[in-house]
Amino acid sequence: MSIRKPSVRVAQALCAGAAATLLATASPAVLATAAPAAPKPNVPCSESALFDAITTANTGGGTLVLSPGCTYALTAPLPEITNTIVINARNSTITRDSAASFGILSVGPSGNLMLSDATITNGAAPDFGGGIANHGRLTVTGSAIRDNRANFSGGIGGGAGSVTVVQRTNIMDNMANVNGGGVANDGDMTITDSRIIDNHAGAVGGGAANDGTLRILRTNVNENTAGRAGGVANFTASFGTSSTTISDSNVNSNSSTLAPGGVLNTGGTVNLINSRVRGNAPTNCAGSDVVVPNCSG
């Protein structure tokens, strides 16, 4: 008995030590799974604060965190973005509150804007990009581009040489006097997991007009209107070759005065991949200058 008791005590001590070790190593793992704190706003809820923040960020880049739920009402245009700037809008709205005509955001050739969780509304550009005019690089994520207007590209415009990426975003109720009610693209544009709904173009491409490279992936282009091609229009490019790829998407219930109501190709290429073009008026693709493969009616 005198030989076995120390062994029991040693075993008990080892077990206690092991338990303590387990407890000590468990805490950091729990802490590592904690949700990160929301970023603190660094742009107060005022037009002047947003203007100054963009001006400062243009000198060396930066991240702007807007005040949650704020409405930044603009009486004059914001500075063109000329550097790499991240705008975390945190469900804020940037809107025009003026009789003057100007778009909401503009990205210059040297600019790179990454915008998230924003509503861009009531822009009125005299020419291009009522909501956002991009001449550089633009990424829009989880946002709403709505109720903007311009001659070309009521919602978002991608200029020649630009790169535009739109993700999980609603492009709705925008208007172009000429082409591209929702979006117009002369550069390289990719739209994924989004909705292009209820936009209008006076001439061609109610939802989207393209004479660059356009990819529409897992997106609904529905209920847009135009003089021709209420849904999507692909034009002969004035530079290079235009192409539009619509993959795993819907182009439905769009309408136009002249056929086709769904998808028009006047030159370049249009590729429909696992997509539906249905219920457009007066036709889906019939009447296109160049036949759209895999589209009937």
Q: Is the pLDDT of residue 210 over 50?
A: yes
Q: Which has more pLDDT, 186 or 237?
A: 186
Tell me 15's DSSP state.
H
Residue 25: the pLDDT is 40
Q: Are 277 and 284 in contact (CB under 8 A)?
A: yes
Domains delineated in the chain:
38-278 (2.160.20)
Helices (H) and strands (E) in the chain, counts: 2, 28
Q: Which has more pLDDT, 152 or 11?
A: 152
- Residue 80 tokens read as 């063109």
Q: Is the pLDDT of residue 88 over 80?
A: yes
Among candidate residues 179, 172, 110, the one with its CA nearest the CA of residue 146 = 172
Q: Is the peptide bond before 260 cis (omega within 30 degrees of 0)?
A: yes
Render pLDDT for 146-177 as a digit per residue (tens, 0 to 9).
999 999 999 999 999 999 999 999 999 999 99
Residue 40: the pLDDT is 82
Single-letter code of the amino acid located at 131: G
Q: Is the pLDDT of residue 16 over 70?
A: no
What residues have CB less than 8 Å from 272, skipping those under 6 apart?
246, 263, 292, 293, 294, 295
